[in-house]
Amino acid sequence: MTRKPALGCLVEIVETLVLTLIIFWVIQSFVAQPFRVQQMSMEQTLEPDQYVLVDKLTPRFDTYKHGDIVVFSPPPTWVASGGEPYIKRVIGVGGDRVEVRDGAVFLNGTKLLEPYVFKEDDGQTQTTETLTDVNSCNSWVVPDGQLFLMGDHRGNSADSRQFGPVDVSAVIGRAWLRYWPITTFEIIDTPKHPELATPAP
């Protein structure tokens, strides 16, 4: 008399586990995915070993914007990544002209105001320089369907200054929540960049 209830209980447990795994797979594949920051290129916005939740759903219905922080797969030709995803900030989108000069970033001729860039020990904002190992390029036009990405720690970031713009299809999602350590719990805001609303002189 006890075998049937025990078998039924086992079936329910298996069904619950399978359903849980399916739900977990769907959420991680299409909705949100945890990501551990491993590089130092986003200091001091995001520090190594912090965890963020990557939004994979809303980018399916909306475009990436200037200032978004995204997780992406570096170009296959970029061997320095070791196959690990990168996390960087969107500087330019399709059609933009990005220029690095005088220690700053200019977008379509307008100097970007970037309060998120790494601060040195003396409190001064780190300058942005070109990475001259790629044809000494300091100006890029971002093709449609691609993004120009940089880390906030400009002096310690392998980014689009080296490997060029990245296909949107290589982007895993937008980082929207820092959740660990719990003391750093915070929604990750996208800066507004009001200076871009005013045409450059």
CA distances, 14 to each of 2, 5, 11, 25, 199 (Å): 19, 14, 5, 16, 61
157 is catalytic: no
- Cβ-based burial of 113 (10 A; exposed 0-12, middle 13-18, buried ≥19): middle
Candidate list 29, 56, 88, 136, residue with the active-site label: 88
Candidate list 41, 56, 157, 160, residue with the active-site label: 41
Opening angle at CA 151, ends 153 and 29, nearest 5: 140
CA distances, 102 to each of 25, 99, 130, 185 (Å): 47, 10, 10, 35
CA distances, 182 to each of 44, 79, 177 (Å): 17, 34, 11
56 is catalytic: no
Q: Residue 103: name the closest of 163, 69, 154 by CA.
A: 154
Say how many C-beta atoms besides its own lie within 10 A of residue 122's C-beta: 5
Catalytic residue list: 41, 88
